[in-house]
Amino acid sequence: MKKLIVAASCVLALIAGAAHAQERNLRIAFDVPYEPFEYKAEDGSLTGFEVELAEAMCEEMKANCEFVIQAWDGMIPGLLARKFDLIMSSMSITDERAERVLFSEPYYNTPGGWFARDGFSTDVTDMDAMKGKVVGVQRGTTMDTFVTENMGGIVTIKRYTTADDMVLDLEGERLDVVFVDYPVGEQTILTKEGFKEVGEPVKLGQGVGVAMRKRDTDLAKDVNAALATLKDNGTYDKIMTKYFKYDIKM
């Protein structure tokens, strides 16, 4: 009987050990504030479209997730240095970035938008008219790349670590116009009196994906499966409609 009890105890220990070994602990990085995708609520808690989507994704994957706040220009270096395991912070999929990180399937796509004060009347597509204008972008974004490649040497480009700092300089008349992820401009600029959208939105990149280290192929499969399930079961749409008036799904 004692041998049976010991054997049973060993089996239970092995099962418990296996279950513990299968637990997945993940750290997910966000650039905050970047409303409505990720920002702090009045009570200090982290919220936003991508935050809620990450929570649902982690639940679907049965993973224990810790959220990490990381400045945008340190995102990929921090991932490669193992400070966190995933980037889920409106990172557009580009060929250049794909050389360094592994992307999930894209989970949304929004254009870049031009925003300025009400008195701004310049055509942002007219390079002669834009000459000498001061344009604000967030450093290291696809908006930064677009302005650098298409307007470098024509306009003065001011790069910011956070979208909030950029908006403050637009309000303080230190910028003529900003080029930013459209929903960010919509919710942080157009909600203020005296500002407007100028020009047409510009589609950039191949959509936004979750970024991981190149070798984390199994993790990428699980992330893709979880996001697909959330889209199929309506969870994605429920979260999306909470933050957007239009469909941003790929």
pLDDT tens profile 198-229:
999 998 878 999 999 999 999 999 999 999 99
Asked if 180 and 112 touch (Cβ cutoff 8 Å), the reply is yes
Task: Tell me what pLDDT residue 6 has.
Answer: 42
pLDDT of 160 over the 50 cut: yes
Per-residue pLDDT at 246: 77
- Bin 86: left if φ > 0, else alpha if -120 < ψ < 50, else beta: beta
Q: What is the mean pLDDT of residues 243-249?
A: 84
Q: What is the pLDDT of residues 46-66, one digit of tens each?
A: 999 999 999 999 999 999 999
Q: Does residue 10 carry a pLDDT above 50?
A: no
Q: What average pLDDT does this structure show over 23-27?
A: 93
Does the pLDDT value for residue 9 go beyond 70? no
Sequence-separated (6 or more) residues with CB below 8 Å from residue 66? 25, 26, 27, 28
Residue 14 has pLDDT above 50, yes or no: no
Counting residues of the chain whose pLDDT is more than 90, the rounded percentage is 84
pTM over 0.85? The answer is no
**SS3 for 39?**
strand
> Does the structure show a pLDDT above 60 at 166?
yes
Contact (Cβ atoms closer than 8 angstroms) between residue 89 and residue 141: no
